[in-house]
Amino acid sequence: MTATKHELLRSHLQTLIERELAPHERLPTERDLAQEFGVSRMTVRQALERLENERLVYRVRGAGTFVARPPITKSIELTSFSDDMRRRGLQPGSRLCIAESVPAGAAVGFSLGLSPSQEVVHLERVRTADGVPMCVEHSYLSVPGLLDQPLDGSLYDLLRDRYHIRLVRAEQSIRATVLDQDTAAQLEVPPFSPALLVERTTYDQRDRPVEHAISTYRGDRYAFEIEVVRPSTDD
């Protein structure tokens, strides 16, 4: 299929953006682009709209079209605690508090698609960064033989390397809370300190629920950074 004029122009402008122009540098005007490439202003406008929808450029009314900065990676993505801490330049650690087999119960069973009476592995761990407690994590999994494995490192790495389970997506909620006395002691902060409660169900490559985790993070040492984008409008 032959590319249309605005598709060809869009491809040229993308190359220009990637190789020659810096973020926030202005592109040639619509009139100049139309004259240079021998196309109509409408064709130029269609190409620029495509680039704007792809977040390669942004337009300022009365000023022109500018190169957008490269998109940043969201830190709120599916990573293990260990990977997350390493990305922040910190050395991850883990202190195993509880490793046991328990009935799933109603909430965990629902999240993992199990009967409430079915046994799951429950792990309680204090996760540290450079030796400082960062969160208390309760993980529930239905993985045979897991309690016989070393549990002092990354659980996600263990699932991948030992069980060939690759975790690819998660459903997650984050809300504010305060710490009870026991959790505060584990995190070495005063009771009723602010915290973030993160509840997540993680799925493997076949879209099967593998882990239900409830993690309580210190509010003074941890934050989730999210990039949000406003849809482009004519105004």
Question: For every residue of 148-177, which 3-state class applies, written as one string?
Answer: HCCCCCCHHHHHHHHHCCCEEEEEEEEEEE
Using only the alpha carbons of the chain, give its radius of gyration: 25
- Contact of 32 with 13, CB cutoff 8 Å: no
CB contact set of 188 (below 8 Å; sequence gap of 6+): 132, 133
- Each residue's pLDDT tens digit, 51-107: 888 778 888 888 889 988 765 343 556 777 887 778 778 888 899 999 999 999 999
**In a shared domain, residues 92 and 206:** yes
Residue 155 lies in a domain: yes
Residue 166's CB is within 10 A of a number of other CB atoms, namely: 12
Is the same domain home to 89 and 188? yes
163 and 190 in a single domain? The answer is yes
Q: Does one domain contain both 179 and 95?
A: yes
Q: Which tokens sit at 12?
A: 């040229």
What is the number of domains present in the chain? Answer: 2
Are 175 and 95 members of one domain?
A: yes
DSSP code for 43: H
pTM: 0.64
Assess if residue 96 is contained within a domain.
Answer: yes
> Both 141 and 54 in a single domain?
no
**Which tens digits make up the pLDDT trace of 127-169?**
998 898 999 999 999 999 999 998 888 888 899 999 999 888 9
Residues 63, 85 share a domain: no
Shared domain for 113 and 182, answered yes or no, is yes
Q: Going by DSSP bridges, is the β-strand pair 64-67/57-60 parallel, antiparallel, or unpaired?
A: antiparallel
Q: Which domain holds residue 161?
A: 81-218
Q: Tell me the residue ranges of DSSP E strands in the chain.
A: 57-60, 64-67, 92-103, 119-129, 132-141, 167-178, 194-204, 209-218
Domain shared by 86 and 167, yes or no: yes
